Structure 1
């Protein structure tokens, strides 16, 4: 069975991610497109550097072409945000990116985008999923490889220039040019290098690149730009006396940052810095959107400037929808994805990193100093995230205890209220919180806590683990 989560469909290669399932997904999409009578608008397909990604893109293209649907195939590894941008720019009905984003190397998957280059919402993915799982291999129509190559319905695109130029057009490259910034880029063996290096060097930054070769195993680590995976980038930043280090995940829609002192800046910190910069530095006006597991420091910044912070469930489609509804300035999540008004309605690590460079150049100060300013003005909050694996039997038990019987540990803080909109979120009177929810991309139970101190956040997570008998955690601050 093909199941869509918060980040599209992901499955283990040769188990769920197979040629047959990719073709079934493509046929299900083709059926939907034909039923909607939008075949003439076509589909954009792109892929990352994972094992079988390029092949899977062609498997999907062969099915769509057989169903008389035009396909633009970005026939080189490309950032997922570029596929979203191209879907919007070409006014295509749908887009597909073959990627499993930051999942382990044994995974691959497909993200589906709808009109305007948006993440497909839950109604679309649920309907698409039902249609796909009602098909058999005999229902799939596909042209042969040689027919695909010669088909007038297939357009090959290899250039990234339109996407790169769209980002450059939104940057103050003049201020960056005269700042002489030194940047170390870590694409984590993924797809950000060409775009991000081109943008930064066009703005006259001095750019060094690490971990750039094609390695489907991602150097034996997760292609996720979190603190545990960026020790090499930290070392390079300090040794080269760089102004910052930029890391992007496997498909370049998320980022992590190392500042000039070698400190890791989380996605939460990046969001806060960029939101304040857009309001105070660029004079923008508007609210901010975050998911339930993202820092409440954004609420403090919003309040300081007379704006509102909107909270939505996990899944970037909820962020982009609320941004469109409220004309928000910025939206993002603690896992590393963000977008800004006027750009694509989805995560873009390339654009976010470029804007952060502009922020540093414009301020004429060190990145570490800019964060110190945030702490001095708004205080600090500390977050802990843990992830626990489980058996199918345990999932049934945990679902019953958490969401049917609504059990909770005896937290030391006074509880203000509890929400079950997306998993379970406990709001404390002191402004802290705990989130417990099943991952939408991996078979994991995730537990987050944000509190005034790291010890308090860690204590809350440990109480949840003890209460529900969880083990095998991978905690990160």
Structure 2
């Protein structure tokens, strides 16, 4: 089989394509690329998925046998921790064994370069070119692997990214759902010695993730929403399987979509923290960001979907203060050039406590200032005729849809139609799953549903 990396790493079904043999091939190729760059120190992390620790130990053993200095933590860790350790503890690269938010049958291999972020397309291409072509330099042996645990250091570093005094002024209860993933306990530990009580659900390892995908989206948030209501909590925080994404539940038990979370975080950094610099968003992210940027005179840069594209901007620009995407992944370059679910959660709580407002009140204030926005994404299975249809639309895009006139067409990732009311529709193939994704954001909920219905008809 041909092993190809997608939007964020190589992901495949366990025992079908994600096997010890194939993982070993990828690790050997990765080691070869690092060796050619004279790089020697590697940090290898893993999440709570089925066999993740075993796959990670296999990768660590290969790197050790190839002459690398390897650190394999004694427990499952989050992807942001791996990024932080690589950047701040002197590693030349990193590996994270995870399939992030994919269903339980998947696992994956993420590569971090020495700057702490996802590997560049050039680096990935080089790794792919060596897969299956590199033989072990010596016998595969399990040597004296270092097992240093950076969890406490990482959590303390995240705590330093917010004003902890604010968390000591008001008594609130927060419900945290790590979705059986490796971020279990992180939020609770980050908020120790404050007046914030963290109540946890699904905070233990279950490789089947309760029979669902560990993705922080509304359809998987029902139990968290119910728990917030039952506990009378201030809000709920949800992280995906490897802890780099976040979702927010307000005090009423309602799901706050990721687009609104992006806008809230953006405003917090610019207005409350007084950070100066550019903002990066993917093509699937809210028009509220455009309105905020225009209002505050801030440069807004748009990229294709996938945080690796945001990373590309971060490598070129030192003035970027925030980047994020529709999937609930938000990054703070001053910390690491990668998404961080824990730091995102603490910044949200800091915003609410600083303003002395509930999440729903903050959303309402956002709408009053910049207009309402209703967002939804639907996924269709990939079929050859749907792929061809998308190619046709990209070549000859419609001038109107659902009675709305198209103001602008963007093709940096699939097809994006921007309408005269600022609303938009994006159609693109997923980079991590065999799906065709249709995204839509409109100033009215009914209008959004009508446009999505029209778009679905085009691909029926």
TM-score computed with the length of structure 1 as normaliser: 0.92
Alpha-carbon distance between aligned partners in 2 of 1:62 and 1:406, rounded to the nearest angstrom: 52
Q: Are 1:306 and 2:305 matched, yes or no?
A: no
Gap change, CA 1:247 and 1:127, over 3 Å in 2: same
Asked if the contact 2:406/2:417 (under 8 Å) is kept, the reply is yes
Alpha-carbon distance between aligned partners in 1 of 2:64 and 2:419, rounded to the nearest angstrom: 54
Offset of 1:407 from its aligned partner? 5.2
Gap change, CA 1:124 and 1:159, over 3 Å in 2: closer
Gap change, CA 1:464 and 1:200, over 3 Å in 2: same
Aligned to 2:94: 95
Instruction: Please identify, of 184-193 and 303-312, the stretch whose mean Cα deviation from structure 2 is larger.
Output: 303-312
Offset of 1:53 from its aligned partner? 0.5
Count of residue correspondences: 457
Aligned to 1:472: none
Asked if the contact 2:386/2:459 (under 8 Å) is kept, the reply is no
Aligned to 1:423: 414
Aligned to 1:362: 354
Q: Are 1:463 and 2:458 matched, yes or no?
A: no
Aligned to 1:255: 246
Offset of 1:9 from its aligned partner? 0.5
Offset of 1:221 from its aligned partner? 1.3
Aligned to 2:82: 83
Asked if the contact 1:9/1:109 (under 8 Å) is kept, the reply is yes
CA-to-partner distance for each residue in 1:429-455, whole Å, 9 max, x for gaps?
A: 221111111111001111111111122
Asked if the contact 1:289/1:328 (under 8 Å) is kept, the reply is yes
Alpha-carbon distance between aligned partners in 1 of 2:100 and 2:232, rounded to the nearest angstrom: 30
- 2:133 aligns with one of 132, 135, 151: 135
Indicate the SS of the match to 1:183: strand
Q: Are 1:44 and 2:43 matched, yes or no?
A: yes
Asked if the contact 2:85/2:150 (under 8 Å) is kept, the reply is no
CA-to-partner distance for each residue in 1:62-99, whole Å, 9 max, x for gaps?
A: 11111101111122111100001001112222111000
Offset of 1:366 from its aligned partner? 1.4
Alpha-carbon distance between aligned partners in 2 of 1:346 and 1:143, rounded to the nearest angstrom: 35
Aligned to 1:181: 172
Instruction: Please identify, of 16-25 and 375-384, the stretch whose mean Cα deviation from structure 2 is larger.
Output: 375-384
CA-to-partner distance for each residue in 1:175-203, whole Å, 9 max, x for gaps?
A: 11111121111111001122221002233
Asked if the contact 2:304/2:412 (under 8 Å) is kept, the reply is yes
Asked if the contact 2:397/2:409 (under 8 Å) is kept, the reply is no
Offset of 1:142 from its aligned partner? 6.7
CA-to-partner distance for each residue in 1:151-209, whole Å, 9 max, x for gaps?
A: 3xx21123411101111112211111111121111111001122221002233311111
Alpha-carbon distance between aligned partners in 1 of 2:167 and 2:305, rounded to the nearest angstrom: 34
Indicate the SS of the match to 1:415: strand
Gap change, CA 1:96 and 1:395, over 3 Å in 2: farther
Alpha-carbon distance between aligned partners in 1 of 2:191 and 2:331, rounded to the nearest angstrom: 19
Gap change, CA 1:14 and 1:207, over 3 Å in 2: same
Asked if the contact 2:184/2:204 (under 8 Å) is kept, the reply is no
Offset of 1:21 from its aligned partner? 0.7
Q: Which runs of no fewer than 5 residues in structure 1 stay unpaired? A: 470-477
Alpha-carbon distance between aligned partners in 2 of 1:95 and 1:73, rounded to the nearest angstrom: 10
Aligned to 1:68: 67
Indicate the SS of the match to 1:155: coil
Gap change, CA 1:438 and 1:396, over 3 Å in 2: closer
Runs of 4+ in 1 over 6 A off after TM superposition: none
